[in-house]
Amino acid sequence: MNQAIAEHLQASYQSASRIVAVEARTIRVPLERHTAFATRVVAARDYTVVRVKTADGYEGIGFCYSGSRAGALATFAVRELFAPMLLERSSLEVEGLWREMYQESLLQGRAGCVLRALSIIDIALWDRNARAAGLPLSRYLGATSVDRVPAYASGGYYVDGKTPEDLGEEMASYVEMGFRAVKMKVGRLDPRAEEARVRAAREAIGDDVLLMLDANNAWSDVPTALEYMRRYEPYQPYWIEEPFSPDEIEAHAQLAKRTPVTVATGEIEAGRWRHQELLDKRAAMILQSDAAVCGGISEWRRIAAAAAAAGVTMCPHWFHDLHVHLVASTTNARYVEFFPDDQVLNFRRLVDTQLEFAEGTLQVPTGPGLGFGFDEAALERYALDAWA
């Protein structure tokens, strides 16, 4: 191919991928029944959803959970901080656009809603580019022949009137669906009551199913965490998730030294630098980095590469529709977190296609990009504002 032809093709690609619109809106989906975990009660979930359109007519979508209230903060960051930077730029310049957006956000926030806004846009860019290439996102990211990936069933929330026996029945129902790994919430009650819940779960699922425990930042000091862990350890949990606030990295490291249970964390952690501290301090052997939180697909892949070098496994948090692609294309990723119904992860109500699952695995989508779109009627039903 001579230089003139190469330059012509490059110009054509750049023209086709020119970003002509970045639109966002805020969606609030109420929970049918108020649900609790260790540190708070959730009555509704706010989501920011984004679509990025290019000159050739392709469109990519992005999304994140933006809190149980004030989700419009992330939407505002998309509209006012980042969208003006992207117009007339090429969607193919994903890494360069990431760097520029991050630099622009230094004063507004390198974590929280601002980085979630950046994450949403990054996801939408990758989605658009994969759709334009006619490839599933997993294949666009480099997956080879992976058709299915392992998943664990996530549940076990606190609900008024729910007994340990009820919890055990819930966990057993996931095993009956074919899941060989299940997760429940811990840390809200006193140690004796918590042990009763974990014991009921283990007895209900048997010894051959992995049992993950999620504390959702329940504890503020290592001695208290150890008091609970000593009660949990006889029931052979696979991991203890988010035992402390994400800022208490040293506490995670100290707990990891003192319990045989693997420490997992990172679901609300932002950026590769904070994740690197977790790795350096051996504070977690499983990272649950969420691409819709940590800085998008671009940053998630950087974090996963660093984790691989440290012998650490990736088991991303939430949004199975997104993370199924990342687990399928990442050699040191093991599980996708899967919610069998739409009661807690009610984002499921906002999309037009649901993942297929069987025998504890998820089918990797074969359609272009993420393999699903927004259900526009559902967005209209729950929207707090219009596309803008």
Enzyme catalytic residues? 185, 317
CA distance 270 to 295: 7
How buried is 374 (Cβ within 10 angstroms: 0-12 exposed, 13-18 middle, 19+ buried)?
A: middle
CA distance 76 to 79: 5
Cα 192 to Cα 66, 197, 230, 232, 253: the distances in Å are 34, 9, 11, 10, 25
CA distance 344 to 378: 16
Which residues are paired to 65 by β-bridges?
47
Residues whose CB is less than 8 angstroms from the CB of residue 322 and which lie 6 or more positions away in sequence, other chains included: 63, 123, 291, 292, 370
Continuous segment of H or E residues that includes residue 148: strand 148-154
Q: Judge contact between 296 and 123, C-beta under 8 A.
A: yes
Helix ranges (H only) for the chain are: 3-16, 72-76, 83-86, 94-104, 112-133, 137-140, 164-176, 191-205, 222-232, 249-258, 271-280, 296-309, 320-328, 376-382
